[in-house]
Amino acid sequence: MRLILLGAPGAGKGTQADIVAEKYNIPQISTGAILREAMAAKTPLGIKVEEIIKAGSLVPDEDVVAIVRERLLQPDCRNGFILDGFPRTIPQAKALDQMLSEMGIAIDKVVSIEVGDEDIICRLSGRRVCQKCGATFHTAYKPSQKGDACDRCGDSLIVRKDDQEDVIRQRLEVYHQQTAPLKDYYAAQNKLRLVMGQEDLADTTALMEKALQD
């Protein structure tokens, strides 16, 4: 199963990607998480992208394309993968098609999780992330059993700098301008499935599973 998850920031891609990755036993590839790791480790790439991400803008296509290319060549991607947060622009989608065709493979399905802007703003302001392992939680929808600490590794949970309201609005605008057109791109390849994001994440998962079966 080779899958792309689309959706506005905060639509629940990361959470659903986690669940699908486990169910199908395929790796989840999140460019946002890889970029945040690079920032935390202060690698040259991390230092380069820090201001861009804090401002809610997109990292240059060539940087994320290079990250994904390297990741897809790892042996654990052989039986499939789920891309979360990539591609985010038409040039990224074209670069992805190109690299997959060089590898002799193709995307099977693209699922877009649909959530309205006002709901997104509510959701993102409650989001908490583990600064150590990258696990994500939500104060209302998916609280950590350990409160302010991570269920998975015990480290402390933080609010991402780009989850502040003005930055969220900027990210939504970038989404509508640059990422939403990917729905037409993949609809034209007959790969697009729309899933209406539900308040309860298990309900969204059920709709996702249906979308993956047809």
In the block, residue with structure tokens 């997959």 = 100
Annotated catalytic residue 88:
yes
The answer to whether the CB of 195 falls within 8 A of the CB of 112 is: yes
Q: Which is nearer to Zn ion, 37 or 61 (CB)?
A: 37
User: 171 catalytic, yes or no?
Assistant: yes
The residue within the footprint of ligand ADP, chosen from 171, 182, 186, 205 (CB under 6 A), is: 171
In contact, 203 and 91? CB cutoff 8 Å: no
Cα–Cα distance for residue pair 72/84, rounded to 1 Å: 13
Say how far apart CA 21 and CA 18 lie, in whole Å. Answer: 5
Q: C-alpha angle 203/137/36, rounded to 5°?
A: 120
Give the whole-angstrom CA distance, residue 116 versus residue 137: 20
Residue 137 or 175 with smaller CB distance to Zn ion: 137
Among 4, 5, 17, 53, binds ligand ADP (CB under 6 A): 53
Catalytic residue among 48, 142, 152, 160: 160
Look up residue 208 and give its DSSP letter. H
Residue 150 contact, options Zn ion, ligand ADP, none, Cβ 5-8 Å cut-off depending on partner type: Zn ion
Q: x/- binding map, residues 123-152, to Zn ion, per CB under 5 A?
A: -------x-xx-x--------------x-x
Q: Which of 36, 71, 109, 171 is catalytic?
A: 171
Question: Given candidates 6, 10, 95, 115, which one binds ligand ADP under the rule CB under 6 A?
Answer: 10
